[in-house]
Structure 1
Amino acid sequence: MSKKPTRSAVNSSASHVFDALRVVSEASEPMGVSEIARELSLPPSTVYRALITLEESEYIDRFQASSRYELGAMPRLLNRALLKRFALQREAGPALRQLADESGETASVSVRLGWYSLRIAVAYGSHDFYHRDRLGEVSPLHATLPSRTILAALSADDIARYWRFAERHFKPSAAERKAAEGAAAATQRDGFLAEIQQYSPGQSAVGMPLRSVGEVLAALTVHGPVARSGSGLAPASVTAARKALESIIAAAPERFASPFAHLDPDDIYLRLPPNPRGA
């Protein structure tokens, strides 16, 4: 019987570096060597060497010159490089800025990436003190308002495929699935999705799908008191921004196609931090 191959010392060291980077990237606050070592069940000396490698490569930085670590410049550069692959990221800026200036609320665009949404552009409004959406945020299509907006605009066959994927990888609760299905029904009925924000009491968010050649490409989202409860109407400024973006997309649909559209969505699996925010 053949022996199971063992990892070489070089491969083990590389694995420790990537494991340490994963822990730092998923942490909600800067972490120290001892915390990371406990998380990985590794000796602190091993973790320290991995962190020094990451720090020298600018993948992590010391938080305010302390002994705790956070993500450094390199992940941000890689994030920007990914976002720039989407032509919509460059074109969305002026429309989002105008919408944020007119409403005072934060506006963003999230594109579909397989069975996920990816936030590629944000313009912050003057009323926004609490809700800071980060570029590059990724969430499964049932988990946040932008992603639920995209999910609602998919075909029935694709929605069924998504739930099979979600059951395999995310194990959504019955309540999460019910909320996503209710959001889909509302979006299909009204043409937009409006929700009260869990993390911003008294605030709401509106999401509208952006389409290209009949297919959903992205979601336009605005946060704040921007929907009149029970009216079935979204603000004219949000609708105008959606029409402006769809007009730009329609002029050159092949240019705005996702650079990952050739991949089977089932083949795109991203490891995400737990408990994504609802907006």
Structure 2
Amino acid sequence: MNFPPSGNDGSKAVVIGGVLFGVLGAVGAGTTVLLETRLFDFGPRFLAGESAWRQSSPLLGGAVVCYAVISLILRGYDIAVLRAVVRSDEPTAPVFRLSAVFDGIRATVILLGYFVPSLALGIVGLSLRRPTGQGLHWVLNAMGAVTLLLGLFALIVAAYLLPAATALFATRRSIRAAFDHVALRSCVVTEDYVVGWVIAGLLRIVLLPITIALQTLLIGFFLRFYLRVSVQYLYGLSVSNAFETETGHH
């Protein structure tokens, strides 16, 4: 937990990250208010709904672009953290760079590559659902249930593999490296990776709701970024230890 403010740039990065999370919160709140007051008004202005859509669409478009860019910058900083930690003896927090958005885009492509199978299975499973008690609908319902279970399993597997895959991309600077099954297998089967993944998950489950609740006091935005970087540090450390363990065995 001491990693986020470490080095010459860590404290500055925590401030920048907290501000970015604050902007995301403001954009989200503003978008919610806009949708409720301008677009979903079923009072006297109901007949002017189409006009409201036209007037509000530039604001919504700007909000979407702002949210996407900031999210990509934050994801890119995740990559910078992994790059700084994996196979480093004394890692320190990296500097915040706007160019991180490009790593964020590639990391998002990797994320989609891992979660598309579970999403596809979920869609197929839901599409097979039919009203009960009609002919052979029970067969389709059974097939849908099995498909949904497979989708859930694929989701869990993807969530387990993704940190290692992202770390491989961060160190090798190649999207293809994130799907290197040989390197992935040698990493994710180690005790170091399992323990690190579990601890990082528990940190998120326990502390994330607290940071979100504290966002009303503004400090929550900075704590949320602090938690995010700490989780990425744990992922990077577990992957680094896993690689060292695998090298030692050979």
TM norm structure 1: 0.28
Q: Bigger relative contact order, structure 1 or 2, given CA contacts below 8 A and separation 6+?
A: 2
Query: Whose helix fraction is larger, Structure 1's or Structure 2's?
Result: 2
TM norm structure 2: 0.30
Larger radius of gyration: 2
